[in-house]
Chains A and B, each alone.
Chain A
């Protein structure tokens, strides 16, 4: 055992900066995943066969292949195909957002189907148009039920975001590796990165619990 945490002290600001860098793309990824997830979930429950097929195919592809592969395809293959030099930041948002959408859509689909059919009928009987019915009546009830599952998905995304280090994006993980190679010690910076991830996940969990409590008020 030769642990020496004093060595990483000069690098702490450098590593802490990774929090912001990680949160930034995680935030956008979650937003993309959430918005797209709702859209795909709605496609899954329509009567339009083609949309349903498309949504199922999408889910199957993004859940059936490794995330790291999706990330590398977007980062390395897009420039080759489209002559567009995609940034690591944009690649990360796309890969994580598109991937997350597949999982989120499944969660939301299940949530919508779990809402009592009578709610749809009550809305229809009042003459409420489909978009308003979904937005004001069905989705709010669906979200209440699936909030724990959704939070779980977002927490997983936050943790797995460490994969972006493979395309050189300067997130917490990548910064830990860089510090490790500078000071020729890996354990200390990696442990420090671990603590940062744990704190982030802990805070997210608390936010999730708080939101759940708020939503349970009408129970």
Chain B
């Protein structure tokens, strides 16, 4: 479970998040949508403390991660993150990308980490690329490896920041399919996305951010059919 209370974030004088409160239940898939610059990425990055919140509190599985004494590293082991631009380690093979953190962070033995990694690569359909370097992969393949890399830590929560935005259109589906499977398996997922169809189909809850505020939240059917706020209406009109 994720609980966010009165979260604010400032970059210098620029207040990017203006008091956001919400709750995300175990196994829920949440899509965060909103205009560019509304603070979606910043919100997501606060959830694993890649950004330090300015004020407010966040609880992950009843642990208050905004407590200054929290061990950020061990907290992050439990939260996987997938980035728009993949950020695979370019000097490591696909297999090494996936086995690195389990070995070096969790101290899992090489054979076990590799066995686990091969299962994950199978899950994302890339077993035959295990020995390839990332530069030999297409964007969609890279992103699927990035998902496998995050899953290798066996996280309870997965964060996605526009995972398909950097992809050529024909590769979007393969990544979304992997994410759909993950959602079905009961993973708690928070996904910043511009893929409205994905949000409609897969999400249990939509968070609509605008100008640093959580303007509207609700279930997708209701949100896309009859948004309650003017701003959500405007936004949907523009993109649909």
Partners in one complex: yes
Q: A132-B104, A140-B91 are in contact. Are A126 and B150 (CB under 8 A)?
A: yes
Residue pair A126, B135 in contact (C-beta under 8 Å): no
Chain A residues lying within 8 Å of B34, measured Cβ to Cβ, are none
Task: Report Cα–Cα, A63/B87, bound state, in Å.
Answer: 36
Residue pair A122, B87 in contact (C-beta under 8 Å): yes
Number of residues from B at the complex interface, CB < 8 A: 28
The B-contacting residues of A in range 115-149, CB under 8 angstroms, are: 116, 118-119, 121-122, 124-129, 132, 136-137, 140-141, 144
Q: A136-B104, A140-B91, A141-B91 are in contact. Are A124 and B135 (CB under 8 A)?
A: no
Q: Which residue of chain B has its CB nearest to the CB of A121? A: B50
Chain A residues lying within 8 Å of B150, measured Cβ to Cβ, are 125-126
Task: Report Cα–Cα, A118/B146, bound state, in Å.
Answer: 13
The A-contacting residues of B in range 92-113, CB under 8 angstroms, are: 92, 100-101, 104-105
Tell me how far the C-beta of B145 lies from the nearest C-beta in chain A, rounded to whole angstroms. 12
Chain B residues lying within 8 Å of A118, measured Cβ to Cβ, are 83, 85, 87
Q: Is B80 an interface residue (CB 8 A)?
A: yes
Chain A residues lying within 8 Å of B105, measured Cβ to Cβ, are 126-129, 132
Task: Report Cα–Cα, A32/B113, bound state, in Å.
Answer: 37
Q: Is A83 an interface residue (CB 8 A)?
A: no
Q: Encode contact with A along B108-151: 1 for CB under 8 Å, 0 otherwise.
A: 00000000000000000000000001110000000000000110
Task: Report Cα–Cα, A119/B100, bound state, in Å.
Answer: 13
Q: Is A219 an interface residue (CB 8 A)?
A: yes
Q: Is B210 an interface residue (CB 8 A)?
A: no
Q: Is A80 an interface residue (CB 8 A)?
A: no
Q: Is A218 an interface residue (CB 8 A)?
A: yes
Contact of A124 among B76, B91, B149, B153 (CB under 8 A): B76
B residues sitting closer than 8 Å to A (CB atoms) are 48, 50, 73-77, 79-81, 83, 85, 87-92, 100-101, 104-105, 133-135, 149-150, 153
- Of the A-B pairs whose beta carbons lie under 8 Å apart in the complex, a sample of 25, sorted by A's number, is A118-B85, A118-B87, A119-B87, A119-B89, A122-B87, A122-B88, A125-B48, A125-B76, A126-B76, A126-B150, A126-B153, A127-B74, A127-B76, A127-B101, A127-B105, A127-B153, A128-B100, A128-B104, A128-B105, A141-B90, A141-B91, A144-B91, A217-B133, A218-B92, A218-B134
A residues sitting closer than 8 Å to B (CB atoms) are 116, 118-119, 121-122, 124-129, 132, 136-137, 140-141, 144, 217-219
For the complex with contacts A127-B74, A127-B76, A218-B134, 18 further pairs of A-B residues with Cβ separation under 8 Å are: A116-B87, A118-B85, A121-B50, A122-B81, A122-B83, A124-B50, A125-B76, A125-B80, A126-B76, A126-B101, A126-B105, A126-B153, A127-B77, A127-B153, A132-B105, A136-B104, A141-B91, A218-B90
